[in-house]
Each structure stands twice: as C-alpha cells, then as structure tokens.
Amino acid sequence: MTTNEYTVALAGNPNTGKSTLFNVLTGLSQHTGNWPGKTVVYAEGFFTYNHNRYKMVDLPGTYSLYSNSADEEVARNFIIFGKPDVTIVVLDATALERNLNLALQVLEMTSSVIVCLNLMDEAKKKGIRIDAGKLAEKLGVPVVPISARNKEGIDALLKTIDAMVCGKIKTKPIVVRYSPEIEQCMEKLIPRVKEVIGDAYPARWVALRLLDGDMSLLHAFYKLFPSKKEATVYACDGSAKSI
Amino acid sequence: MPSVKLQRLSEAEEGEHFRIEKLDIKDGTMKRRLLDLGFVPGCEIIVLQKSPLGDPTAYRVSNTTIALRKEESDHIYGERICDDNK
C-alpha cells in the first residue's frame, strides 16, 4: 500500500485552541496556554490517518495576515510559499465576527481550506447556535464544528481532511469584491502578475498586496525567482503604483 | 438621532460605550492593524479600565479585550454613549 505525505497548516486567531487541536491530532504536547503570542515560530508534528501520513504545522495565532508583524509574516509566508495541501482555519465559535476576518483572508490565498469551529462547547454554554451548513455554503469550503478540548468532532475533521487531499471535495471560496476603483486596477494588474510569477501563486491576492504596497511580499518573491531580473519583479510593483 | 459632535475614543470614560465613526490615521499599517483588531466603523465598544497611570486603556471589542495607548485611541473618532441613556 502506498503512503502519501501531506502537509496541513493550522491558522487562527490567538487563543482559539489551535495548539490544543494540534496536540489532539499529533499526540504531542506542544505547550498550550491562555495567552497570545505563545506560538512565536511554528511547531511541527506528524500523524497518520487512513494510510496517509500528515505533517501538521501549527502557525502563530494572528488576527490578520496583513499588518506585517513577524508572527503574521511567518503565517502568511507559510500559506503562500509552503503550499500546504490543506489549511485549517480554527475559529472561536464564541467570537465568530472577529474570527471571520482571518478566515476571509486565508480564503483569498488558497482554496484548500477547511474551517474548523472550535470551542463549540463554550458557545453552547453561552447560548450561541451556529448553522455550520449555512456557513459552509456562504464561505464555499467545508465547515466542521469541534471541541478540541473534549475531543469532539475530531473524527469528522479527519474525514474531511482525508476527503480534501484525495480530491473528493471541490471548494469554491467566496470572493471578496472591493470598490470598483480597486477592481479596475486589479483587472489591469492580474495579467502582469501572472506573467511574472506564473500560475503557482494566487494572482488576485498578489495583485491586492501590490496595490497595498506590500514590500515584504515583493522581497520574498524576488528571493524565490532569482533567475528573473530584479527589474521584472519590480516592474510589477511599478505598474501597481502607476495604476 | 440628534447629530452629535464626534469625540475621540481617548476621551471616553471607564464603563462608557463608544460607537466608532471613523479612524483618522494616515499610516496605512497602523490603520490596518486597528481594523484587524476589531476597531471598525459602526462597531460599538466598551471602555473597560484605564491602567493606573491612565495609559494604556483596555477596551472590550467584539468579545475580546484589547488595550490601546492614547496615541492610537486619539485618532479613533465616534460617539460616546453614556450609561444613563440605557
């Protein structure tokens, strides 16, 4: 029997139980604690499910991937350049509004996303009910309710991961539309971005970052394509500015 | 609703609710950061507690406690909602 290895990344806001889920899945005891910034660099662990081997990567907890703090850059670069087979976005079911900000950002970067509603037990205690099916329909990716602490919903999550890496789940992530002004700029920019970096990266997302003047991403791409003339990469930035 | 002169978040007192109207911040990264933390126009937050020296101040923002320094809360404008009109 052949065994494949897949990479699964865990992203989420601080204090949503990412590390607890990481420990449940990998059987490791990454230190979990009730304070933000605990996972400063990412932790790795392994597990096997249905004859496949998985590398689990626990990313630092962040509210966003855009503010350019060291934590956010680690998380962002892993999702873009590490190309995990599946990215699980762990959401705190008791604070969905706050948590969906990050989920939408990740959905702009990759379509292989599973949204994991953690702390469902807490939510129930607070009288919060969430229609996971409706949420999945709106986001265009699977949504799995769990309670990592009580080890509830873990099997459903594993089955979803398995189905996703086997290509049995087709996702259609929601596309955030911006103002007409920004959309027009992107229309011009996306073909140029594709020319430079090819189809291996999410062109719409990269175009958005360029319009935002995200220099750190530009530098990361330049390191990745040393064969391309620096000028080519910067030409993209130039056209972003001229637009 | 009567029109109210916008006030700075830094002027709000402990226990008061505050509805954010706008963020007047030139630095894009800082503005983005505050938006990501939940300081979004239209959102209502609560002033929880000032630290002993008066700065920073803790706020309740969509289910999480976040502390800001005056240099940030000075640039967040909105409407103070005092406790007595509930």
Q: Are B74 and B5 in contact (CB under 8 A)?
A: no
Phi/psi class of residue A51: alpha, beta or left (left: φ > 0; alpha: ψ in -120 to 50)? left
CA A69 – CA A137 distance, rounded (Å): 32
Q: Are A65 and A90 in contact (CB under 8 A)?
A: no
Kindly tell me if the per-residue pLDDT of B2 is higher than 60: no
Residues of A in contact with B33 (CB under 8 A): 64, 67
Nearest C-alpha neighbor of B43 from the set B7, B77, B4: B77
Q: Is A64 on the interface with B (CB under 8 A)?
A: yes
- Which has more confidence, A12 or A242? A12
Q: Which residues on neighbouring strands pair with residue A6, listed in sequence order?
A: A54
Q: Is residue B73 part of a domain?
A: yes
Distance from CA of B6 to the nearest CA of A (A): 25
DSSP state of A152: B
Q: Which residue has the tokens 């803790």?
A: B58
Q: Are A76 and A103 in contact (CB under 8 A)?
A: no
Q: Which domain holds residue B35?
A: 7-85
Q: Are A119 and A93 in contact (CB under 8 A)?
A: yes
Question: pLDDT by residue (tens digit) across A4-45?
Answer: 999 999 999 988 999 899 999 998 766 655 454 445 567 889
CA A80 – CA A209 distance, rounded (Å): 12
Distance from CA of B60 to the nearest CA of A (A): 12
Q: Please count the CA atoms within 13 angstroms of the CA of A170 that sit on its side-chain side.
A: 0
- Which has more confidence, A232 or A171? A171
Q: Is residue B71 part of a domain?
A: yes
Number of independent structural domains in chain B: 1
DSSP symbols for B29-66: HHHHHHHHHT--TT-EEEEEEE-TTS-SEEEEETTEEE
Q: What is the mean pLDDT of residues A194-219?
A: 88
Q: What percentage of chain B carries pLDDT values higher than 90?
A: 70
Distance from CA of B59 to the nearest CA of A (A): 14
Residues of B in contact with A63 (CB under 8 A): 36-38
CA A95 – CA B65 distance, rounded (Å): 12
- Which has more confidence, A8 or A227? A8
B28: closest chain A residue by CA? A212
From the list B32, B38, B62, the residue facing A66 with the nearest CB is B32
Written out in words, the top-level CATH class of the domain with range A5-165 is alpha beta
Residue B29 to residue A67, Cβ atoms within 8 A:
yes
Element spanning B67, H or E = strand B64-68
CA A237 – CA B3 distance, rounded (Å): 44
Distance from CA of A99 to the nearest CA of B (A): 10
Tell me how many helices (H) and strands (E) chain B has. Answer: 2, 6
Question: pLDDT by residue (tens digit) across A109-145?
Answer: 999 999 999 999 999 999 999 999 999 999 999 999 9
pLDDT number for residue A229: 55
Residue B33 to residue A64, Cβ atoms within 8 A:
yes
Q: Is A224 on the interface with B (CB under 8 A)?
A: no
Q: In the structure, what pLDDT confidence band is assigned to residue A108 with cuts at 50, 70 and 90?
A: very high
In this structure, what CATH number is given to the domain that contains residue B56?
2.30.30.90
Q: In the structure, what pLDDT confidence band is assigned to residue B13 with cuts at 50, 70 and 90?
A: very high
Residues of B in contact with A64 (CB under 8 A): 32-33, 36
Measured CB to CB, residues of chain B less than 8 Å from chain A are 28-29, 32-33, 36-38, 61-64
Q: Are A25 and A56 in contact (CB under 8 A)?
A: yes
Residue range(s) of every CATH 3.40.50.300 domain in chain A: 5-165
Q: What is the mean pLDDT of residues A164-170?
A: 95
Q: Is residue B48 part of a domain?
A: yes
Question: pLDDT by residue (tens digit) across A57-103?
Answer: 999 899 999 866 788 888 999 999 999 999 999 999 999 999 999 99
Q: Is residue B2 part of a domain?
A: no
Q: Is residue B1 part of a domain?
A: no
CA A200 – CA A203 distance, rounded (Å): 9
Q: Is residue B24 part of a domain?
A: yes
The verdict on ipTM greater than 0.85 is no
